Amino acid sequence: MSGAVKRLIPLFDRVLVERFAKQTTTKGGIVLPDKSTKNVLNATVVAVGPGGRNQQGEFVPCSVKPGDKVLLPEYGGNKLEIDNKEYYLFRDSDILGKWQE
Amino acid sequence: MSGAVKRLIPLFDRVLVERFAKQTTTKGGIVLPDKSTKNVLNATVVAVGPGGRNQQGEFVPCSVKPGDKVLLPEYGGNKLEIDNKEYYLFRDSDILGKWQE
Amino acid sequence: MSGAVKRLIPLFDRVLVERFAKQTTTKGGIVLPDKSTKNVLNATVVAVGPGGRNQQGEFVPCSVKPGDKVLLPEYGGNKLEIDNKEYYLFRDSDILGKWQE
Amino acid sequence: MSGAVKRLIPLFDRVLVERFAKQTTTKGGIVLPDKSTKNVLNATVVAVGPGGRNQQGEFVPCSVKPGDKVLLPEYGGNKLEIDNKEYYLFRDSDILGKWQE
Amino acid sequence: MSGAVKRLIPLFDRVLVERFAKQTTTKGGIVLPDKSTKNVLNATVVAVGPGGRNQQGEFVPCSVKPGDKVLLPEYGGNKLEIDNKEYYLFRDSDILGKWQE
Amino acid sequence: MSGAVKRLIPLFDRVLVERFAKQTTTKGGIVLPDKSTKNVLNATVVAVGPGGRNQQGEFVPCSVKPGDKVLLPEYGGNKLEIDNKEYYLFRDSDILGKWQE
Amino acid sequence: MSGAVKRLIPLFDRVLVERFAKQTTTKGGIVLPDKSTKNVLNATVVAVGPGGRNQQGEFVPCSVKPGDKVLLPEYGGNKLEIDNKEYYLFRDSDILGKWQE
């Protein structure tokens, strides 16, 4: 994880994730052009916000934590580019699941 | 159930299900092409999330549990492919009913 | 009521109903083609879910019970086919009224 | 009021009404074709449901009662035909006003 | 105010108003055709409902009372014709303001 | 401020404002045609309503008061003409900011 | 920060920001035309409102404060021009994250 991204604190229930590396060769060893590969749905949580607010205005903590391996939905999220690397911000409630160790 | 899927924990009120096997021959024994068969609406619950949050931010448990046989709506759900098998994530409230033993 | 349908428990505020038999002859005795007859709006309740949840996450019981004769709206509901018979699932709040004995 | 309609109990905040008879002749005595006459907006309440539910799941009684003369909105309502007579179901909150005796 | 309109009680937060008379001549004395004149936005309150309901199902009184001179929005409201006179029903919250004496 | 406008009391969380005079000459002294000039976004508050209602039906006071200089959004608001002068009604929550003295 | 902008107090949960200066030359020194450069997503908070209101009508403070360096979403916000400088107003909940010192 690069230096700048460490300083980014997501707000509310936003979760900053880094997708797993794309598989760029087939099992048979053929190199895949970048466009032909779909978004990788597995990602590592880099940082989480303090949580969204309930109707009393109190923070409700996120359900994932930095380091968690999560399953992302196919669409959505805000793409960021920090130090030439791609990151994504998702709302906590849009993350589908997490992978147990 | 394969190894990887066991490690997936759905978040919030999401329910991970595996549809029953498709009927690929008619009662008369004719083999059906895959495209002509509709989605199977019966499924087995594989894993459930901790539940959605109410307005106080507390978790409201899901109404189904792993092993339950459930009736799915015709549309909706997130399709996943884990270890070359298809699974689906549905919100607890979208599941129509469950089959008593 | 067939065997399989007895084992189906609707979830939340869903109500499983069976429509009254379609009138397939006119009063004068003419046989009506199946397509010309509208959906029958009267139905018998077969099973009810535990009820929807209020904002505290508690179940609010359905306003009908198995055996009730109810009046359905013209549109809506989920059609199911169980053991070659048609059933419908409606949300409790979509049922227009019930017929007193 | 015919026999069958007496047995219909509206659910939630639904109100069963019977519109006043349509005026089918002009003041000058000309007979009007049925299509040229608009829906009559005045109606008599035949039956009322127990009321809608508030956020705690408690019933909030309807604001009209059987026998009330009410003013209906121009559009909306569910049309029913019971024993060859037309009735309408409206949500309590869609009824515009009531006529004092 | 004619006899019939006195007997109409608006329901919920509805307010029955009578618009001020349309100005049908210009300041210079030219008679304006009826179509060229816009709706008059000032009106007198004729009757008010008991008020809308809050989340506990209690009535919240209307903010205007019979006799108040009010400012209406350009669009909206239900037009009624009672004894050959035009009246309008507006929701209390759609009325823009009232004119102090 | 003319006489009639003083008597207008906005309802709920509405705020009556008068926009600052339009700049009709450029800095270089060229006269601008009326159509070429945009709406002025700065305005003076003329009157405020008692406030909107919260879920308990209580009034929540407006965040501005008569005499405040405010910043309006580019679109929205109800235009009024009183005694040949233009005024605007905005919801309190649509006003972007206020200018400190 | 110029004089006039210091006097602007955002209302509710609005946050006044000034975007970082646009990069107008490439790393190789080529001057970029103004149109070819995207909006800068990093900004400095200039002023914050008292916060939005919760359902009880109480203010919920903003999650950023003047001087904070924040990450803006690609779209949205109200553009203002004060003393020939561009500023933007964003709702607190639309700001994606903040940069730690």
Q: Residues E33-70: pLDDT tens digits?
A: 666 557 789 999 999 999 998 877 788 999 999 999 99
Pairwise CA distance, residues C20 & B35, whole Å: 34
Position E93 scores a pLDDT of 95
Above 60 in pLDDT, residue F19? yes
Do F98 and G16 lie within an 8 Å CB cutoff?
no
Pairwise CA distance, residues G43 & G17, whole Å: 6
In the structure encoding, which two tokens stand for residue F68, read together?
């405040």
In chain F, what residues touch G14 (CB-CB under 8 Å)? 96-97
Position A41 scores a pLDDT of 93
CB atoms within 10 A of CB C73: 14
Position A33 scores a pLDDT of 65
pLDDT digits (tens, 9 = 90+) for G20-32: 987 767 777 777 6
Average pLDDT over residues F2-16: 92
Do E55 and D54 lie within an 8 Å CB cutoff?
yes
Supply φ then ψ for residue D12, to 5 degrees: 55, -135
Pairwise CA distance, residues E80 & E14, whole Å: 13
More confident position, D81 or A37: D81
Pairwise CA distance, residues F27 & G85, whole Å: 17
Pairing label, strands E69-71, E97-99: antiparallel
Q: How many CA atoms lie within 13 A of E5 on its CB side?
A: 21
Position F34 scores a pLDDT of 62
In chain D, what residues touch C56 (CB-CB under 8 Å)? 56
More confident position, F39 or A6: A6
- Asked if D9 reaches chain C (Cβ–Cβ under 8 Å), the answer is yes
In chain B, what residues touch A101 (CB-CB under 8 Å)? 7
Residue entry with tokens 């409630």: A93
In the structure encoding, which two tokens stand for residue D23, read together?
């005026």
pLDDT digits (tens, 9 = 90+) for G43-91: 999 999 999 988 777 889 999 999 999 999 999 999 999 988 999 999 9
Above 90 in pLDDT, residue F49? yes
Among the partner residues E9, E55, E57, nearest to D97 by beta-carbon distance:
E9
More confident position, A80 or C33: A80
Q: Is F3 helix (H, G, I), strand (E, B) or coil?
A: helix
Position E96 scores a pLDDT of 97
Pairwise CA distance, residues G81 & A73, whole Å: 39
ipTM value, please give it. Answer: 0.85
pLDDT digits (tens, 9 = 90+) for C40-77: 899 999 999 999 988 777 889 999 999 999 999 999 99
DSSP string for residues in B19-79: EPPP--B-TT-PBPPGGGSPPP-EEEEEEE-S-EE-TTS-EE--S--TT-EEE--SS--EE
Above 80 in pLDDT, residue B36? no
| Highest mean pLDDT (candidates D23-37, D55-69, F84-98) | F84-98
Above 90 in pLDDT, residue G94? yes
Measure in Å the smallest separation between the Cα of G7 and chain A Cα atoms: 27
Q: Please report, as a single letter, which amino acid is at residue F69.
A: K
Inter-chain Cβ pairs, chain D and chain E, closer than 8 A: 47
Q: For residue D14, give the nearest of D45, D56, D57 by alpha carbon.
A: D45
Summary mean pLDDT of chain F? 89
Instruction: Supply the Cα-derived Rg of chain C in whole angstroms.
Output: 15
Above 60 in pLDDT, residue E1? no
Reading phi first (left if > 0) and then psi (alpha if -120 to 50, else beta), residue F42 is in beta
Above 90 in pLDDT, residue F12? yes
Measure in Å the smallest separation between the Cα of A27 and chain G Cα atoms: 38
pLDDT digits (tens, 9 = 90+) for B57-73: 788 999 999 999 999 99
- Point out the least confidently predicted range of C75-84, E55-64, F71-80: E55-64
Q: How many CA atoms lie within 13 A of G35 on its CB side?
A: 0
What is the tally of structural domains in chain F? 1
Maximum separation of any 2 CA atoms in chain E, in Å: 56
Average pLDDT over residues D33-37: 61
Above 80 in pLDDT, residue B82? yes
Position A3 scores a pLDDT of 82
Q: Which other chains touch chain E, taking contact as 3+ CB pairs less than 8 Å apart?
A: D, F
Position G33 scores a pLDDT of 65
Position G1 scores a pLDDT of 53
Position A30 scores a pLDDT of 74
Do C55 and D50 lie within an 8 Å CB cutoff?
no
Position D49 scores a pLDDT of 97
Position D28 scores a pLDDT of 75
Do F97 and G89 lie within an 8 Å CB cutoff?
yes
- What is the spatial order of strands in the sheet that C97-99 belongs to? C78-82, C85-91, C14-19, C42-48, C69-71, C97-99, D8-10
Above 90 in pLDDT, residue D73? yes
Kindly report the CATH number assigned to the domain that includes residue C43.
2.30.33.40
Pairwise CA distance, residues D2 & D85, whole Å: 9
More confident position, F51 or E37: F51
Q: What is the 3-state secondary structure (H, E, C) of chain E?
A: CCHHHHCEEECCCEEEEEECCCCCECCCCCECCHHHCCCCCEEEEEEECCCEECCCCCEECCCCCCCCEEECCCCCCEEEEECCEEEEEEEHHHCCEEECC
Q: Which domain holds residue D36?
A: 3-98
Q: For residue C82, give the nearest of C10, C23, C22 by alpha carbon.
A: C10
Burial class for A4, CB neighbours closer than 10 Å (0-12, 13-18, 19+):
exposed
